Structure 1
């Protein structure tokens, strides 16, 4: 399991941990009364209700932004916001191919957290095969072929421009790198998922990355965005590099 860790001399990812600690009772099971009555959980629930379940706020703060994205790139944007998870989210359809029962889609997934000033973007290459049944209930078989976790090849231009749009719309929000998103915090559980331990992505955003095996190597640089989290007084000249070599024969 990929536990939460980073070079604290060089990077300051503590705001992520502080946001999670503020809202989630780490070490308490999500199905217990203690969890449900934790002040942070109550506060996070109130934030979700105010921003998502209040249709006026939701349309003003998010749906309107989805329309801006669609108009800028002249592509289809599909809302994926889940009413129990602490984020706004949507998919930007970059490519779409359909033939008979086969559908292949390339899209950028965007999530903006309600648990702190954070957002993330990743590209998805997915395939869906629809099995037509006689009872008119079709079965879909879904597979994610690959993730692009930085501005990479066919996703590069839109990825970069989308990141800039989010930063202009949501002032002071910071991009969370894939490497951090896929890390676990021991004892962290979220209310909307039945998982023993959850990722930072689950706590700050949603569950949509869970369908992909994060142990596989993604396309692009999984540490993309780390430089946005450099400590203020970091000086690379102070880095100590140690190289171990075998003794001379």
Structure 2
């Protein structure tokens, strides 16, 4: 369980992860807010838009590369009955979900993401997703779907599922590296990305993936948050 995010300046990121740091700087204009007209004139944003256009907006390419080229093959290769693409919107990643359990009370899903910028992917298992009533400062009481736990490395009951998807991704994308969950806990000062709400703080992982789950203090994180971090150095 983690209570606080760590806020960092981009230049403070260790030289051990210089590729991650430099990739963020390449594609995003650190310090420029999205409402500044110069933001979308930044060369990295233009290049990112071109990458998304090619990989996602071009529906035929998307089907060939991800939907058929990976998801359908994964379904055939592995014993996963319920697996689907979840890539949606103008985002910098492919994504998919494997349904592991689904009951009236809750469900458990394996989420996987392959970034379109840098050679990175990540996997997490959202366990016991259920409805929870929360108090929102603007909207008052409302119900949301949240997991009880986020499993971030191959441990416990779903270790084999995690490893099967992990191995399948690295077999298809030979240069790809796993981005561990610890990078979801570092927020980069003055970093804004086009696919998040204005003013929303962005984590290091958030520069590469638009996830369907975010950490908060009522969710337990299970596993090694630094899983495979040595392979990034």
TM-score class normalised by the smaller sequence: 0.7 to 0.9
Equivalence for 1:91: 97
Query: Are positions 1:198 and 2:202 aligned together?
Result: yes
Unaligned runs of 5+ in 1: 131-138, 231-249
- CA distance in 2 between counterparts of 1:27 and 1:200 reads 15
Judge conservation of contact 2:110–2:126 (CA < 8 Å) in 1. Answer: yes
Query: Are positions 1:42 and 2:46 aligned together?
Result: yes
Equivalence for 1:120: 122
Q: Is the deviation greater in 188-197 or in 37-46?
A: 188-197
Q: Which runs of 4+ in 1 moved over 4 A?
A: 4-8, 214-217
- CA distance in 1 between counterparts of 2:14 and 2:47 reads 31
Cα distance change, pair 31–7 in 1 and its aligned pair in 2 (3 A): closer
Q: 1:82-138 CA deviation, whole Å, 9 max, x = no partner? A: 22110000111111112xxx3x111111000011110001110143449xxxxxxxx
Query: Are positions 1:74 and 2:76 aligned together?
Result: no
| Deviation at residue 72 of structure 1 after TM alignment | 2.4
Judge conservation of contact 2:109–2:126 (CA < 8 Å) in 1. Answer: yes
- CA distance in 2 between counterparts of 1:53 and 1:142 reads 28
Equivalence for 1:244: none
- CA distance in 1 between counterparts of 2:83 and 2:95 reads 10
Judge conservation of contact 1:108–1:123 (CA < 8 Å) in 2. Answer: yes
Judge conservation of contact 2:188–2:201 (CA < 8 Å) in 1. Answer: yes
| Superposition RMSD in Å | 2.3
Q: So what's the TM-score if we normalise by structure 1?
A: 0.79
Q: Based on CA coordinates, which of the two structures has the bigger radius of gyration? A: 1
Equivalence for 1:61: 65
Cα distance change, pair 158–192 in 1 and its aligned pair in 2 (3 A): same
Q: So what's the TM-score if we normalise by structure 2?
A: 0.84
| Deviation at residue 215 of structure 1 after TM alignment | 8.4
Cα distance change, pair 43–214 in 1 and its aligned pair in 2 (3 A): farther
Unaligned runs of 5+ in 2: 133-141
| Deviation at residue 200 of structure 1 after TM alignment | 1.5
- CA distance in 2 between counterparts of 1:214 and 1:166 reads 30
